[in-house]
Structure 1
């Protein structure tokens, strides 16, 4: 398997093609003018040391050196080896609320974007931990299985939106159950980080937390939103909100942070509740919590990192240009004796 870091530089190969065309044109023009001046036998007598082969060879050497430099700029990388790596860490599943209430803008830019920002920063501060992601609204949805590839995890995280789950509402019990089922190892320390505004339209969230606690899974809840609450925009035109969510009586819905629900869930599962106002404070509290959880050793498969190969092509280019210095366009006496270039 290979990877080209800067494939845009491959377009420079067109320069080599253009130079080759110019060289052939020059060769044709030179031969034509020489023949206008004298025939081949007379030319050999007038310039006995001129070597057509070595003249062409010098161009080929320079062209190959230029190609090697271009490939070095592209920086090809090679790495196909699969390795089993032993690591010490924690298995963490992020359960992210993607219900419509998370579109409320009582925190900037809105609750969902704030939740994704918090999870993204937590991932940035992890070490050797494995992570998974679950999204939930009226039902829970597995977004990403357990992995150590943080870049993939952050990509999936950024793509999460309120349209991923068709059934609306907020079923915290489903989120906890699915997150608990997402762990694929029995002998690792397990943690669920649940990010939500705490609105719960389901039943049995605390019961699901007890089940998680019995399985040895701790739950940390992070509350995103404000006590005063905010209205839920459901339609925008050119960035301007034109419609807000209304209830069956036509009244504008106000969604508020339900801190009590999130605290109860965390307490049932020997975890803790964190206010999500300041991302920096959340990260510090999460780091402290992770330091107090026992790390366990686990094995994971990963592809060895791609190794850059540009230095080989730089070396080849340097060698070819050095060789070109020693190539003379005229015939040399000792090479004539060896007749390596068939010049006799």
Structure 2
């Protein structure tokens, strides 16, 4: 039930971005996301002051050392890594639905003789090849309305 809800939510939220449907193969891994965030918050709150200041002016300046900034940056990177692993483990897939349609049709091949005898003026004012081209064009036009036609 929850897995179906997670798939519907992922499809509704992420589907428009990926141009198709989004399916989560193992949605239970996504439950680690709130757990990772809770762990991050808990670790940030439980840690007390790590340094004692002998000079009160250092506290008033509000400047943090590079080591403290690095510690905070690493904590955020750890959270991002846990979130990314959780999403990757859930195996999201996107794609569009494709259906194979089977239809029957008729293959028709038209061939014209272009030898010198086709230049004869049997069909005045046209020669044989021009008359054959006209008949072929009319035939193709008549087939365009046929639903089983694949003529282009």
TM superposition score normalised by structure 1: 0.21
Higher strand share: 1
Higher helix share: 2
Q: Which structure would you say has the larger Rg? A: 2
